[in-house]
Structure 1
Amino acid sequence: MKTTASLILFFISINIFTQSNRIHSISLNVGLIIPVEKLSGIMNSGYNAGLDIETRKNNFAVFAAGKLNIVKNKLTVIEFEYYYNEKKWERTIGEITAGGRWYLGDSKPFSANVDLAISIYTGNFFQKIPWGFQPGIGGNFNITKKLSANLNMKANVIEGEDWVTYLGFYSGVRYSF
């Protein structure tokens, strides 16, 4: 339900500004996930891949993103010997995110950005579908007028009995139209 509501709000925001000179873009990203605080004791660093779409006017953008993170649990010696060949220790964390992105400064040839978003998380790591905040920073380096390389870092702060955090580092290619 939250996902549907988020997507509806995103598409409404796109349609509100259709008669303006907005820039739309899509980017494919890959990167690393690094658990911090309590998560660092139960899982190792992993990798991720995702898709980010945005619509931008001047220095403000609304974006939606989806990412799949794959991590491995930390094992004790006994668990390691017993489960060595089993895949059950590989965990997935899916992120569905929507929020705002503020671009700082001129976009030629480099533009920095600050993100603030709300996410929902799914996958076999969680027993339920939690939500969380996702602040981040990043930047885009223009390769051509429509193509740019991007690099972002986001902190994922996930609700629960104990709030847990992991960092995501993403790099990719963005196409604007």
Structure 2
Amino acid sequence: MERSLSHIALFAALIAVLGFVPQIMLATGVPITAQSLGIMLCGTVLGAKRGALAVLLFLLLVALGLPLLSGGRGGLGVFASPTVGFLMGFPIAAFVAGLVVERSRAPIGLAAGLGAFLGGVLVLYAFGITGMAIMLGKSWPEAALLITAYLPGDAIKVVLTGLITHSLARMRPGFLPTRH
């Protein structure tokens, strides 16, 4: 239990630290950041439940006003911005990424890459597009078109997640969640 709590806190901190990587602000009001890499890693390394809990802890700290989002943003106001869909999708994305890794029989690096893609791209984009459509007053297809700018960076994050998770599995086999 203590080890799980430590890992959850550590990965919440990892997401926050990735916020220090300079963001690229797009006209949509939703920046390209490294924090979604942290979301993907939460799921693939900690597993579905602990990964989602780490993200929820991070979001709680943001809601309390800590400026942990990329660009030093925090507080309840970020939940009323074009990023709201992404923020709401973060814990579900981590959960799905972790679930894929836990249930997959594929080699860990491949399973992590697949989990990162399904959770950290497809699920997260579904939430992000919906949030952008609502907050920007656009149709879902119009908002989806705006998301295409994020695809190259997210493809790199998917590959990095697979490689990092694979490396952790080799260095610390007992660190990753049990795979069924």
Structure-2-length-normalised TM-score: 0.31
Q: Which has the larger helix fraction?
A: 2
Q: Which structure is larger by alpha-carbon Rg, 1 or 2?
A: 1
Structure-1-length-normalised TM-score: 0.31
